[in-house]
């Protein structure tokens, strides 16, 4: 389906119960990535709520429900401070919201949600399919705390065979498909893509270099020498022969692997009969590489060509959803998700909500296999078919190979959740021991660890890593490029002051004051979604901050916290390297206590060392990246109007940026793409005086 499908709000489109004066805005559902261009627009409106001022819970819902239409749509339940508590869809808004107004709730979760509701907003759609798609879109965007939420929504990697170059290359690709070429995937992880590309390079000798690197080669690179590239850049292979290699790679990735292997095997046999044993050995190595690719793909089904397999397992109040990806009859990996969901929800309810969010911005396969049936399964299949522009089937297989695939996914889901529960239990014991060691009333929920990295004060970077009950929370990591010109190069105290100032000033601005606490544990939210949480459902305010440094560092940190008025609300702990900088002899600095050390074999000491090592790794990596960027920086980058193309032309003509700076206008004009005006611009930049 290529045409755009729209529903426009207007006087004739509105149910009779809706007053046009209530129109507030328009919500637009964007097309899914990789799918056809399908959009719709719906009226976003809120009934007159003047009579509901001061009311909360079922009382305010009873006031709002009187003017709701018997039409499909999406509703949002809002708290008093404007946070979205829950997003839901309904075939009839009036009937669904009436059920909340009656005050009879099946679970404590729904009761708590209704009691916190201060107002509601509604979006009327033309069909229930549009309501389902809009609901998933809003849940991902608003992240309401009473909905099932995906915690890991990173895009999937693909293999790209470019189509805009005379010698196509093979690359790992993630993100929008803006470049012309053939995309194969999704793969479960970047590692799976990397391994597959490495094997495909050995099998088909495709290049993986950038186009600019290709254009500037005068002799084959190392990949040609180790038989990982055919060397099209320097004419080691003709364009026609290279095109045949590319065609074979496309066939293999498109599922015609047996055909490719048969052709290579025949060519190997022919070369052997012609006594061309060197060429026969090349074909033999290519066949071995193809076998290596398939041997690492695990189960390769015989009757399933394109499908995603979902299996869910619940245990210990947590949920794991395992997803396997099958394309062109090959297993392209699996990934485990641990969505945030109320323990009272049934497996089918969690899986149904997860599926709608999962495919909100991802291409949909032709077949989706589930371990459990989901609510509105036919409606979801119809909605995904509308997005994809072709039929999408959703089923719970009962027998045969498809049932074996879901059983295998379910087994993987059980094992993944078992490992996570074991890790969480260990982490919980460590956090409890941490609280006892440092005198906290409760185990901390968010620990922030800080460190600086620089070389003689150059390219200074501050780093922050975050840990919680489930280990390191990498999407919360932050780096701080030290910007102050008043800091003496190498002044670690001054750098830490800047990091603390910037971090907590922004935290106060974005999340308000820290909660008043008796001890660090009280800083943890008692319910997910408190106003101290960030958008990901993880506390924004730290219970504890660990500083890699001794008494001097702690003095600088405590002064900043005192200036911001939060010194007594965040526990700050300093970790100083012990005598001879030996691990195990660290000294800890806590307010109100004399510096102390922990026993060498104390598990809490190992835990703190692991936190410190992680912030070291992150800080050093950030510093190296900044230093590398500075090292390759060119004076030409500072000239407005000189882009990559002109920069390349100047360097190719003159050799170095220094030679460009010495060139006269007459010499600059001789470079392809450099006009007299641009030449004067370059000349004036280097000769301002």
Structural domains of the chain, count: 5
Task: Provide the 3-class DSSP secondary structure of residue 230.
Answer: coil
Is 322 a residue whose pLDDT tops 90? yes
Residue 456: count of CB within 10 angstroms of its CB: 8
Q: What confidence score (pLDDT) does residue 21 get?
A: 34
Provide the pLDDT confidence category of residue 370 given band limits of 50, 70 and 90: very high
In this prediction, residue 413 carries a pLDDT of: 92
172-181, 229-238, 449-458: least confident range? 449-458
Q: In terms of domains, do 289 and 313 share one?
A: no
User: For the purposes of burial, counting CB atoms within 10 Å of the CB of 84, is it exposed (0-12), middle (13-18) or buried (19 or more)?
Assistant: buried
Distance from the Cα of residue 122 to its chain's centroid: 30
Alpha-carbon distance 88 to 79, whole Å? 15
Whether pLDDT at 172 is above 60: yes
Who contacts 591 (Cβ-Cβ below 8 Å, separation ≥6)?
Answer: 558, 571, 572
Which DSSP symbol is given to 564?
T
pLDDT of residue 680: 86
What does the pLDDT look like over 193-242, one tens digit per residue? Answer: 888 888 788 888 899 998 888 888 888 889 988 888 989 999 888 988 89
Cα 294 to chain center, whole Å? 28
Q: Are residues 407 and 316 in the same domain?
A: yes
**Domain shared by 607 and 669, yes or no:** no
DSSP-assigned letters across all residues of 72-113 = -EEEEEE-TTS-EEEEEEESSHHHHHHHHHT---SSHHHHHH
Last residue of a domain, one of 295, 319, 354: 295
- Reduced to 3 states, what is the DSSP secondary structure of residue 488? coil
Give me the pLDDT at residue 189, please: 77
The DSSP secondary-structure symbol of 154 reads P
Give a yes or no: residue 302 inside a domain.
no
Residue 637 has pLDDT above 50, yes or no: yes
Give the SS3 label for residue 393: strand
Domain-located, residue 570? yes
Q: Residue 102: inside a domain, yes or no?
A: yes
Do 609 and 492 lie in a common domain? yes
- Under the banding of pLDDT at 50, 70 and 90, the label for residue 188 is confident
CB-based contact 499:478 (threshold 8 Å): no
Q: Give domain status of residue 234, yes or no.
A: yes
Question: 537 with 458: CB under 8 angstroms?
Answer: no
The predicted-structure confidence for 279-320, as pLDDT tens digits, reads as follows 788 778 777 777 766 555 555 677 788 899 999 999 888 899
> Looking at the DSSP assignment, which residues form a beta bridge with residue 99?
none
DSSP class per residue in 639-654: STT--HHHHHHHHHHH
Task: Establish if 462 belongs to a structural domain.
Answer: yes
Q: Is residue 327 very low, low, confident or very high in pLDDT (cuts 50, 70, 90)?
A: confident
Of 102-106, 192-196, 204-208, 434-438, the least confident:
102-106
What average pLDDT does the structure give for the chain? 79
Kindly state whether residues 457 and 508 are assigned to the same domain.
yes
Three-state secondary-structure class, residue 685: helix
The pLDDT-based confidence of 360 (bands split at 50, 70, 90) is confident
pLDDT digits (tens, 9 = 90+) for 503-543: 998 888 887 765 544 333 333 333 333 334 544 467 889 99
Residues forming a β-bridge with 27: 42
- pTM attached to this predicted model: 0.67
Residue 197 sits in the same domain as residue 59? no
Nearest by Cα to 40 from 140, 120, 132, 176: 132
Residue 487 has pLDDT above 80, yes or no: no
pLDDT of residue 684: 85
- What is the per-residue pLDDT across 391-402, written as a single tens digit (0 to 9) for each? 999 999 998 889
* 560-572: b (≥16 Cβ within 10 Å) or e: bbeebebeebbbb
Domain boundary among 237, 267, 295: 295
Residues 6 or more apart whose CB falls under 8 angstroms from that of 258 comprise none
Quote the pLDDT of residue 397: 92
Q: Is residue 624 part of a domain?
A: no
Q: What is the CATH number of the domain that holds 127?
A: 3.40.1440.10
Mean pLDDT calculated for residue range 433-454: 90
Together in a domain, 518 and 395: no
Q: What is the DSSP letter of 161?
A: E
Residue 135: which domain range? 20-142
Q: 261 with 203: CB under 8 angstroms?
A: no
Please state, in angstroms and rounded to a whole number, the distance separating the CA atoms of residues 89 and 73.
Answer: 6
Residue 447 above 90 pLDDT?
yes
Same domain, 58 and 84: yes
With left for phi above 0 and alpha for psi between -120 and 50, is residue 169 left, alpha or beta? beta
Please check whether residues 137 and 203 belong to one and the same domain. Answer: no
**Same domain, yes or no, for 93 and 169?**
no
pLDDT, residue 431, reads 92
Check which CATH number belongs to the domain holding 646 and give it: 1.10.150.20
Same domain, 489 and 537: yes
Phi and psi torsions of 229, nearest 5°? -155, 145
Least reliable range by pLDDT among 112-116, 168-172, 328-332, 561-565: 328-332
Task: Report strand pairing: 307-315 vs 367-370.
Answer: parallel
Residue 105: pLDDT band with limits 50, 70, 90: low
12 in a domain, yes or no? no
Residue 564 C-beta-side C-alpha neighbours within 13 Å: 26
Per-residue confidence (pLDDT) for residue 526, from 0 to 100: 34
- CA atoms within 13 Å, Cβ hemisphere of 304: 28
Q: Which of 237, 265, 295 is the last residue of a domain?
A: 295
Q: Is the pLDDT of residue 384 over 80?
A: yes
Q: Name which residue leads in pLDDT, 291 or 131.
A: 131
253-277, pLDDT tens digit by residue?
Answer: 876 767 777 777 887 888 888 887 8
Q: Which of 413, 388, 524, 402 is nearest to 469 (CA)?
A: 524
Residue 459 is inside which H or E element, if any?
A: strand 458-468
* More reliable by pLDDT, 67 or 103: 67
Rounding to the nearest 10 degrees, give the CA dihedral for residues 183, 186, 187, 190: 70
330 alpha carbon, distance to own chain's centre: 25
* CA dist 316 → 411, 418, 537 (Å): 17, 9, 19
The pLDDT assigned to 157 comes to 87
State residue 448's pLDDT score: 94
Asked whether residue 188 is domain-assigned, the answer is yes
Q: Check whether residue 172 and residue 202 sit in a common domain.
A: yes
């Amino acid at each position: 389906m290529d045409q755009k499908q729209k529903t426009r709000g207007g006087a004739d489109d509105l149910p009779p119960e809706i007053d046009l004066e209530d129109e507030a805005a328009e919500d637009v559902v964007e097309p899914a990535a990789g799918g056809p261009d399908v959009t719709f627009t719906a009226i976003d409106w809120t009934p007159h709520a003047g009579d509901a001022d001061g009311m909360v819970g079922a009382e305010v819902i009873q006031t709002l429900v009187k003017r709701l239409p018997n039409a499909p749509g999406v509703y949002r339940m809002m708290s008093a401070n404007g946070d979205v508590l829950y997003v839901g869809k309904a075939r009839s808004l009036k009937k669904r919201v009436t059920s909340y107004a009656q005050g009879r709730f099946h679970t404590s979760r729904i009761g708590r949600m209704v009691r916190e509701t201060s107002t509601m907003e509604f979006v009327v759609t033309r069909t229930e399919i549009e309501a389902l798609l809009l609901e998933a879109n809003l849940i991902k965007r608003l992240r309401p705390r009473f909905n099932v939420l995906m915690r890991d929504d990173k895009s999937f990697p693909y293999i790209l065979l470019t189509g805009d170059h005379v010698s196509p290359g093979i690359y790992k690709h993630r993100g929008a498909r803006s470049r012309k070429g053939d995309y194969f995937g999704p793969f479960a992880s970047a590692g799976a893509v990397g391994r597959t590309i490495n094997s495909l390079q050995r099998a088909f000798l495709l290049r993986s270099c950038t186009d600019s690197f290709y254009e500037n080669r005068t002799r084959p690179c190392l990949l040609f020498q180790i038989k990982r590239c055919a060397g099209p850049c320097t004419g080691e292979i003709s364009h026609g022969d290279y095109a045949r290699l590319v065609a074979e790679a496309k066939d293999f990735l498109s599922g015609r692997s047996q055909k490719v292997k048969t052709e290579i095997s025949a060519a190997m046999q022919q070369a052997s009969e012609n006594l061309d044993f060197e060429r026969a050995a090349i074909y033999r190595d290519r066949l071995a590489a193809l076998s290596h690719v398939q041997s690492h793909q695990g189960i390769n089904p015989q009757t399933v060509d394109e499908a995603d397999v979902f299996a869910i397992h619940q245990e210990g109040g947590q949920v794991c959803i395992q997803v396997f990806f099958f394309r062109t009859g090959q297993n392209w990996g699996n990934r485990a998700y641990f969505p945030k969901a109320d323990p009272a929800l049934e497996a089918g309810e969690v899986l149904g909500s997860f599926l709608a969010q999962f495919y909100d911005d991802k291409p949909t396969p032709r077949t989706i296999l589930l371990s459990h049936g989901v609510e509105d399964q036919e409606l979801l299949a119809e909605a995904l078919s509308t997005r994809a522009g072709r039929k999408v089937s959703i089923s719970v297989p009962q027998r045969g190979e498809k049932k074996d695939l879901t059983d295998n996914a379910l087994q993987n889901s059980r094992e993944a959740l078992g490992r996570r529960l074991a890790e969480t239990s260990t982490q919980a014991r460590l956090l409890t021991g941490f609280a006892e060691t440092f005198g906290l009333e409760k185990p901390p929920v968010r620990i922030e660890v800080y460190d600086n990295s620089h070389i003689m004060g150059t390219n200074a970077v501050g780093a922050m890593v975050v840990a919680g009950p489930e280990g390191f929370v990498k999407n919360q990591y932050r780096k701080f490029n030290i910007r102050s010109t008043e800091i003496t190069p190498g002044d670690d105290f001054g750098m830490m002051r800047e990091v603390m100032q910037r971090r907590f000033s922004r935290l106060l601005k974005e999340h308000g004051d820290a909660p008043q606490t008796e001890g660090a544990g009280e800083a943890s939210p008692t319910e997910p979604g408190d106003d101290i949480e960030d958008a990901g459902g993880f506390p924004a305010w730290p219970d504890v901050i660990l500083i890699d440094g001794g008494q001097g560092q702690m003095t600088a940190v405590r002064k900043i916290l005192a200036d911001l008025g939060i010194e007594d609300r965040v526990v700050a702990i300093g970790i100083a390297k012990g005598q001879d900088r030996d691990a195990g002899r660290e000294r800890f600095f806590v307010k109100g206590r004399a510096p102390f050390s922990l026993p060498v074999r104390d598990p809490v000491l190992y835990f703190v060392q692991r936190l410190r090592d992680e912030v070291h790794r992150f800080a050093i990596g950030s510093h190296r990246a900044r230093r590398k960027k500075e090292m390759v920086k060119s004076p030409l980058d500072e000239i407005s109007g000189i882009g990559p193309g002109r920069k390349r032309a100047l360097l190719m003509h003159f050799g170095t940026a220094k030679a460009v700076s010495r060139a006269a206008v007459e010499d600059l004009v001789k470079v392809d793409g450099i006009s007299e005006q641009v030449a004067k611009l370059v000349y004036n930049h280097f000769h301002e005086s």
